[in-house]
Amino acid sequence: MKRETTSLTRRGFLVSAGALGLMQVSRAAGAADLASPPSDDCVRPLVKFPQKRALLELSPRPPLLETPFEIFDRGVFTPNDAFFVRWHLAGIPTTVDAQSFRINVHGAVDTPLALSLDDLRTKFEPVEVAAVNQCSGNSRALFSPRIPGGQWYNGAMGNAIWKGARLADVLAKAGLGQGVKQIRFNGLDAPVLPVTPPFVKALDVDVAREPEVLLAYEMNGAPLPLLNGYPVRLVVPGWFATYWVKMLSEIEAIETVDDGFWMKTAYRIPDTPDNSVTPDQTGYKTIPINRLRIRSFITNLISGATLGTGPQTLRGIAFDSGSGIKAVDVSSDGGNTWQAATLGQDYGPYSFRQWQAKFVAQPGTAYVLACRATANSGETQRAVPVWNPGGYLRNSIECYEVRTA
């Protein structure tokens, strides 16, 4: 099968990448197998769910749907009907009554609240933020050795304008107790088996009170699709999507650190340099996954493409965890030499930032194209991919092997 071949070659590449670094590898035969392979999209079926166009199906129940990568070339914001979908539990309500829906704010607060959708819209200042929602396991299928779990390629992410009330304002209205350490969130989805723990996530209180953290009731100017968390979801700009609890129904202030399954056991990363380990490594400490790592992609071609000759335009996107993109560089020789790309409009530090670059393609030539983003924080992309047992945090430089006729 095509996918197997790709991963085996990629594995061979990773061995040399670890030993030599990107420069040398770019000259080796297997170099371009580092490439993001949107061409693999074709091995997964397209499936149509309510309020969604046909998306790539990883699982029907619970629904795991990936955005076909070409969508990211069409605009800086990901349309609601093309936005990826990820749920952990199979018990997802198929409708939610906006009239009777309430978010219960309780725990270590002065005044417990039961907020309706109308309360959220009218009693709190509406705020908008453009922000990337990216699954922790986005690109997990590119890990080598391979890792069980949702075999996402690069489409478990999306960028939208989220509108809602500040969580900080809601917490201020409830009045937090002195000893509050974390805020815990739960949604309307439920396990089908009693042994499965409910999907509960927690943020340290200082993170929860950041002004950009929203209880969002709109996405790109429309109500959220049910599968993306209608009627309200938590939006935590700059943080991995696992914290963006959908169909949010409970906000609880706690004086401890949450020790439920989804914080204590799942979604943890090694507390090691670059959060990377070797597959046989044991005995290291772990911490909950947290902020996004800087990434960039070429969006207007796929690995394996045949390009025209002469001046060619490369288009792509980049994002980091909220310092904003300072620069994107592109290479047409697998990372030996780099040239600055031109950045597109700035929609704020949590958004995708589009970019463009030109290169002149000679006839009958193979190129290994690559892009590398640098953030205002100084963070830049890794030359060698991370490895951890969750298949999280991929942010290495993506390469695309193309040729001209």
Ligand X SMILES: Nc1nc2c(c(=O)[nH]1)N[C@H]1C(S)=C(S)[C@@H](COP(=O)(O)O)O[C@H]1N2
* Binding of ligand X by 242 (CB under 6 A): yes
| Dist. CA 82–CA 104, nearest whole Å | 30
Tokens at 368, concatenated:
């290994």
Site for ligand X in 123-182 (CB under 6 A): 133, 135
Shortest gap between Cβ of 393 and ligand X (angstroms)?
13
* Binding of ligand X by 72 (CB under 6 A): no
* Binding of ligand X by 83 (CB under 6 A): yes
Q: Is 321 exposed, middle or buried (0-12, 13-18, 19+ CB in 10 A)?
A: buried
Tokens at 280, concatenated:
């046989």
* Residue 199 or 350 having the CB closest to ligand X: 199
Q: Are 199 and 186 contacting, i.e. CB atoms less than 8 angstroms apart?
A: yes
Task: Identify the residue among 143, 153, 217, 244 touching ligand X (CB under 6 A).
Answer: 244
Site for ligand X in 361-380 (CB under 6 A): none
* Binding of ligand X by 326 (CB under 6 A): no
* Binding of ligand X by 355 (CB under 6 A): no
Question: Which residue bears the tokens 């986005």?
Answer: 138
| Dist. CA 136–CA 156, nearest whole Å | 9
| Dist. CA 70–CA 82, nearest whole Å | 11
Shortest gap between Cβ of 331 and Mo ion (angstroms)?
30
Shortest gap between Cβ of 351 and ligand X (angstroms)?
16
* Residue 81 or 189 having the CB closest to ligand X: 189
Question: Which residue bears the tokens 């704020």?
Answer: 348
* Binding of ligand X by 86 (CB under 6 A): yes
Q: Which of 200, 157, 174 is nearest to 350 (CA)?
A: 157
| Dist. CA 405–CA 403, nearest whole Å | 7
User: Quick one: CA dihedral 157, 158, 164, 168, positive or negative?
Assistant: positive
Tokens at 337, concatenated:
């030499």
Say which entry of Mo ion, ligand X, none residue 7 contacts (CB below 5 to 8 A, set by partner kind): none
Q: What share of the chain is helix, strand, coil (3-state, %, to 5)?
A: 20, 35, 50
* Binding of Mo ion by 289 (CB under 5 A): no
* Binding of Mo ion by 263 (CB under 5 A): no
Pairing outcome for strands 342-343 and 353-361: antiparallel
* Binding of Mo ion by 135 (CB under 5 A): yes
Task: Identify the residue among 34, 55, 85, 171 touching ligand X (CB under 6 A).
Answer: 85
* Binding of ligand X by 246 (CB under 6 A): yes
Please state, as a whole number, how many other Cβ atoms lie within 10 Å of the Cβ of residue 310.
Answer: 10
Residues 66-105, one symbol each (x = binds Mo ion by CB under 5 A, - = not), give --------------------x-------------------
Shortest gap between Cβ of 76 and ligand X (angstroms)?
17
Which residues form the interface with ligand X (CB under 6 A)?
83-89, 133, 135, 187, 189, 199, 228-229, 241-242, 244-247
Which residues form the interface with Mo ion (CB under 5 A)?
86, 135-136, 241-242
